[in-house]
Homo-oligomer: A and B are copies of this chain.
Amino acid sequence: MTINESLSCAAVSTKANVYFDGKCVSHGLTLADGTKKSVGVILPATLTFNTGAPEIMEGTAGRCEYLLAGSTQWVASGAGEQFSVPGNSSFQIRVEGEPYSYICHFG
């Protein structure tokens, strides 16, 4: 279980993406090969996100529990762990206590 404390990038979008009144904040990144990712954080809350492209959420600090659409099983995930969300779907994420920092990989 490796925690990626740093991520190589070529450019960062300077306007923050603010969701749910700030319970989730992210910044978009472009890597040297053109790949798009984002880094963000979820504060204590239970939130529902919709996906367009499939996503891989990689925890870098804190921990969360997530519930994929169609599942009844909340699953814990923390720093150094990741989980996949299908495209055109949704998931709930629940954070308690320490904020959950993540890298979001698309596609």
Contacts and interface: CB of A to CB of B under 8 A. Distances in A.
A18 B16 CA distance: 14
B40 A101 contact: no
A18 to B, nearest CB: 5
Interface in A23-43: 23, 25, 27, 29-30, 39-41, 43
Contact of A22 (B5, B12, B61, B99): B99
Copies in the complex: 2
Contacts of A103: 14
B11 A7 contact: yes
Contacts of A60: 14-15
A18 B8 CA distance: 21
